[in-house]
């Protein structure tokens, strides 16, 4: 059986409360303890840096993917197990999801939303069947959940869209769900 990989989408900033960084650190540590490889955006800043450093400290493998135009801005973390530089953001997202068995979303900004919605749309269209887990740290993603519910109630998406996301409150809960979902 080959090693499982989990793609983590999260902010390139720390966010307003310490709970976000704590969740990122916890997730990185727990991924490594499970023997699962972290696939992420290869930055050494914000929550991205937190999750990667925690995974490395716990002895985990890391697979970072960064577009050439963000190497300076997101401080490309070159000491990863695998460090891939792509030409475009779209290529980055494709390489990340194609090299993962599941997706986990921590708090983040528009880039994290873009990544989540692409993964969600691709799953809805049957382009992959990888689990998508959203870690709703301190209610950060509550408004997103309401928006998705509004999309379905207003007829712009089937109710099955919401069922494609597993919502959890903590990194521990994300790992528990991933164990069941990834087999």
Cα distance between residue 144 and residue 80, in whole Å: 32
What does the pLDDT look like over 17-56, one tens digit per residue? 999 999 999 999 999 999 999 999 999 999 999 999 999 9
Question: Residue 181 pLDDT > 90, yes or no?
Answer: yes
Query: Where in the chain are the domains?
Result: 5-178
If you average pLDDT over every residue of the chain, what do you get? 96
**129 C-beta neighbours (distance < 10 Å), count:** 8
**Which class does domain 5-178 fall in?**
alpha beta
- Mean pLDDT over 143-151 rounds to 97
Under the banding of pLDDT at 50, 70 and 90, the label for residue 98 is very high
Strand partners of residue 40: 64
Half-sphere exposure of 147 (CA within 13 A, CB side): 6
Strand partners of residue 113: none
Question: Residue 1 pLDDT > 70, yes or no?
Answer: no
Closest CA to 62 of 41, 46, 45: 41
Q: Please tell me the pTM assigned to this model.
A: 0.96
What does the pLDDT look like over 65-79, one tens digit per residue? 999 998 888 788 999
């Amino acid at each position: 059986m080959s090693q499982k990989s989990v793609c983590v989408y999260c902010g390139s900033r720390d966010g307003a409360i310490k709970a976000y960084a704590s969740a990122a650190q916890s997730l990185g540590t727990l991924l490594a303890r499970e023997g699962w490889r972290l696939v992420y955006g290869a930055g050494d800043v914000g929550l991205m840096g937190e999750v990667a450093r925690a995974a490395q400290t716990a002895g985990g493998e890391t697979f970072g993917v960064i577009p050439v135009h963000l190497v300076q801005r997101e401080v490309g973390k070159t000491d990863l197990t695998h460090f891939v530089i792509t030409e475009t953001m779209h290529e980055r997202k494709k390489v990340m999801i194609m090299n993962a068995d599941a997706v986990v979303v921590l708090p983040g900004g528009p880039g994290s939303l873009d990544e989540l919605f692409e993964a969600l749309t691709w799953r809805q269209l049957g382009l992959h069947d990888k689990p998508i887990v959203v870690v709703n740290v301190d209610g950060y993603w509550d408004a997103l959940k309401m928006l998705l519910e509004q999309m379905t109630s207003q007829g712009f998406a089937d109710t099955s869209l919401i069922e494609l996301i597993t919502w959890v409150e903590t990194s521990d809960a994300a790992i528990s769900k991933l164990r069941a979902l990834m087999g």
